[in-house]
Structures are given as structure tokens and as C-alpha cells.
Amino acid sequence: MKKITVLGSTGSIGCSALDVIGRNGDSFRIVGLTAGRNTELLARQIKAFSPAIVAVADRRAADALARKVKGPEILWGPDGIDSVAAHPAADLVISSIVGSAGLMPTISAIRAGKTIGLANKEALVMAGEVVMGEAKKYRARIIPVDSEHSAVFQCLAGCRRRGVNRIILTASGGPFLNRKHKDLKRVKAKDALKHPNWSMGKKITVDSATLMNKGLEVIEAHWLFGMPPDRIGVLIHPQSIVHSMVEFTDRSLLAQMSTPDMRGPISYALSYPRRIETPIASLELDLVGALTFGRPDFETFPCLGYAYDALRAGGTVPGVLNAANEVAVNAFLEGRIGFTDIPVLIKKTVDRHSADSASSLDAVVQADLWARKTARRLIREIQP
């Protein structure tokens, strides 16, 4: 029986992971859970899975949780979450805390030698050199959970990396596919949160609408698979059936396909190297009818291009890009800036940054803090 810890258990990925685990109780057991401040949902999860240890964002949330449940050890704050991530009883840690907050818990799990089911792409965007270096040092395996990177991982099974010519990530195009820049100026948060294919959290859904999510995935793919930016492509694929493709040196192309349901890649990460039954629907290609592909519109959705530029620049630039994006998306969701202001704010922040090496966590953290402070200051220059 594989023992599992889920970081970010009340989020979209965390809930899907627990759904898969709950359906396969003979194969998996929950050791630890972490969440932010959603103690109502976390309490239900604790009652359903009986973890030995849990952690929440702060002391107030810990006290509220203690009034709801009995049994597990309850920790709080960053140190508490890191302790759960490194708990010795776990075999595999699903890292699904959204945003930069997931970096240090992921590092803690790696340093404890865990297998990581990585759903937090920001850890690699911010600190890819550190994360991959630590994984090698502590012999921690990283299995991607993002549907695109899981697809590449599956296509590469049994293949030699030197035989790979390029990786092609697919993107649905989000809710504003085929729109032009002038059509996006009056977009509201409720519009951006209507993803056509996937059910995700607010931040990642807005990232999908701006194509920044795909840009962050390009950076993540670079670190996971050792591919330079000019050998990582992106195609718009509105059906979200082909999750990604790998082209080999003989120009043969392998694609991984399934219905768009995150429980598929989560199941693969949980059970790897085996496969298990999942609750997702079978893919009936005759009912799908057609699969279409197109090139991204870099002019209307410049965030994707900014991510490529940041990857080429290297060092602390991708981390600054990520931090500025988090600040911009939060400001958009709060109605303080417009949708088309998101890339403007990101570019202004990155342009003000002097790139530095990202070979240490301290440098990564300092760049992240600088970017957030700068982006918040720049918001005052942008009219919603």
C-alpha cells in the first residue's frame, strides 16, 4: 500500500487526488494533508481519510480545525506545512499548493527523499535549477501531474531522451480563443473564469485565459525534460483531447489522448509505474469527430511570448515573471486592473529587473519579493 501526503488538499487538484485515492482504498492510504484556511472542507477530508498529521495556513485556522476534528496532529504556518511535506511515513507527496507558496513545501519533500507528484509548476518556474539539483542530490523522483507534462512523460516512457527532437504542448486557447485585443478590454473576472473544458481554481483559469499558464508550462517542460526553448512548441487545440506530443529524431510523433479530466494524470502519478482504473469517461473518437490545431496568437496573448523570453533570459527572470503574474491576476480578480492590463503589468515589472543567478533559494526568494513589491507599486500607474 502506497502512503500519500497531499499538499493543498482543498484545492482543485487536491480534491481530485483524494477522489482517486478514495476510489482505490486498497492501494493508497493518506498520511498527511495541508490546506490554507478552508477548515470546513479539510475537516470533512480528515474524517474521510484519517490522516496522522495535517497543517493549515495560520494559528487561527488551526484552532478552528481543532474544534471540528479529533485525531490528527495539527500544525500551522509555513513551518508546519513543511513538516507535513517531509513526514517520514509518506512514500509520495502530491504537491498541489497554488503559486509560489508551493515552492518551499516541495523542497522540503524533496529533501526528505520523497517521490513528488508535481502539480505546482511555479516551483520549477521560480527555482528550476535548485529544485532539479536538490532532487538529484536527495534521489527524489519527480512525476509531473499537469496534464501536458504527464502526457510528455507518458510518451517518453521507454524512450531515450537523445532521440527526442521536440516537445509540443497543447493549449485549449481558453475562453477567449479567436478574440482580438480590442475585444478583451472590457472582459470581467466572471468571463475569464469560464473555461470551456477544464474545472480549475481561479488563478490557473485566468492564466489559461491569458495563455500565461502555457508559458509557465513551457518553462516547466524545460526543467523536467531538459529541452531548450526552441524545441518546446505550443499548439492551440480547442478540444483538449491531445494533451501533448513528442516528436522524435525520425520525425515520428507520439500523442497522449484522453477526455479532459485531471483525475487521469493524477491517477498515473499516484500509481506509477502501474496503471489503475479511473472514473473518467472513455474517449470515443468517433463522437469527438475532429481534432483541430492552430498556432497561438502571440500579439493578442503576449504572456506566452513573455514566458519564452524569460526562459531564454534565465536566472531570476522566470521567477520575476511568475511573481508579477500572481500579483496581476490577483489585482484583476479583485477588479483593480483590467484583463489587458495583466500582460502590461508583467512586462513593466520584468523590464525593471536586473537578472541574477537563480542557483540559490535565497536569490530566488529575494527576486520574488522584489517583483511583488515592484508590481504592486506599478498597479497604481495602471487605470482599470
Quote the CA–CA distance of 349 and 21 in Å, as a whole number. Answer: 41
CB crowding 205-242: b at 16 or more within 10 Å, else e: bbbbbbbbbbbbbbbbbbbbbebebebbbbbbbbbbbb
Residue 383 has pLDDT above 60, yes or no: no
Count of domains observed in the chain:
2
The residue-averaged pLDDT of 142-170 equals: 92
Residue 131 lies in a domain: yes
> Among 225, 214, 233, which residue's Cα sits nearest to residue 147?
214
Within a domain: 288: no
- pLDDT band (50, 70, 90) for residue 297: very high
Residue 98 lies in a domain: yes
For 336-371, the pLDDT digits (tens) are 999 999 999 999 999 999 888 988 999 999 999 999
Task: Give the pLDDT confidence score for residue 43 in this predicted structure.
Answer: 97
Q: Which of 144, 175, 208 is the last residue of a domain?
A: 144
Say how far apart CA 54 and CA 201 lie, in whole Å: 22
Residue 249: φ, ψ to 5°: -65, -25
Residue 132 belongs to some domain of the structure: yes
Instruction: Give the per-residue pLDDT at 150.
Output: 97
Q: What is the pLDDT of residues 229-240, one digit of tens each?
A: 999 999 999 999
355 domain residue, yes or no: yes
pLDDT at 329: 96
The predicted pLDDT at position 183 comes to: 83
Whether the Cβ atoms of residue 69 and residue 52 lie closer than 8 Å to each other:
no
Radius of gyration of the chain (CA): 20
CATH assignment of the domain containing 45: 3.40.50.720
Q: Does the residue 36 lie in any domain?
A: yes
CATH number of the domain where residue 343 is located: 1.10.1740.10
Domain-terminating residue out of 101, 123, 144: 144
- The percentage of residues in the chain with a pLDDT greater than 90, rounded to a whole number, is 83
Domain boundary among 113, 144, 175: 144
Residue 55 in domain: yes
Tell whether 71 is covered by a domain: yes
Average of pLDDT values for 310-316?
Answer: 96
Domain that holds residue 360: 314-384
